[in-house]
Amino acid sequence: MNGYLCPVCSYRGLEHPPQDFTICPCCGTEFGLDDFAMFPEGTKRAWQELRRVWLENGGPWFDPGTPQPLGWDPLRQIWEEKDTLAVTSSVSDVSSSVLPKTITTFLTVPLRVEYA
Ligand SMILES: [Zn+2]
């Protein structure tokens, strides 16, 4: 997968950087719009919230015109980029083999994102 990383859903297929109305085909976030309007104090806060809402809705694939990566799974996608996104939670030291147990944490614990 080559492309820019979506700071909301961790999809690595953005054709353009997550700004200037780029729309993520995975989570549907429109950058500069969705992440700007929600929280004037900063996009990082908005990305957290957008991620939470997206996951609460089951992490649906947004764009039917863009094929999903083979074996795509929204939680696994985020988990695999947890270091990049600096996602921290009480289960950050849990191996990915017990991924389903992290679902509740993803949904209930506000994820702290430090995005360089
Ligand atoms: Zn996304």
Tell me: pLDDT of 94 over 80. Answer: no
Mean pLDDT check: name the lowest of 10-24, 37-51, 55-69: 37-51
Domain residues of the chain, as ranges?
Answer: 1-116
Tell me the CA–centroid distance for residue 11 and ligand 1, in Å. Answer: 5
Can you give the pLDDT at residue 91?
35
Can you give the pLDDT at residue 95?
40
| Single-letter residue type at 44 | K
The per-residue DSSP string of the chain comes to --SBPPTTT--S-BSS-S-TT-B-TTT--BTTTHHHHS-TT-HHHHHHHHHHHHHHTT-----TTSPPPTT--HHHHHHHTTTTTT-B-TTTTS-GGGGGGGHHHHHHSPPB----
Can you give the pLDDT at residue 109?
46
Number of neighbours of residue 92 by Cβ within 10 angstroms: 12
Tell me the CA–centroid distance for residue 58 and ligand 1, in Å. Answer: 13
Can you give the pLDDT at residue 41?
65
Ion ligand 1: protein residues whose beta carbon lies under 5 Å: 6, 8-9, 11, 24, 26-27
Tell me the CA–centroid distance for residue 6 and ligand 1, in Å. Answer: 5
Tell me the CA–centroid distance for residue 42 and ligand 1, in Å. Answer: 17
Tell me the CA–centroid distance for residue 9 and ligand 1, in Å. Answer: 4
Mean pLDDT in residue range 26-48: 83
Mean pLDDT check: name the lowest of 10-14, 28-32, 85-89: 85-89
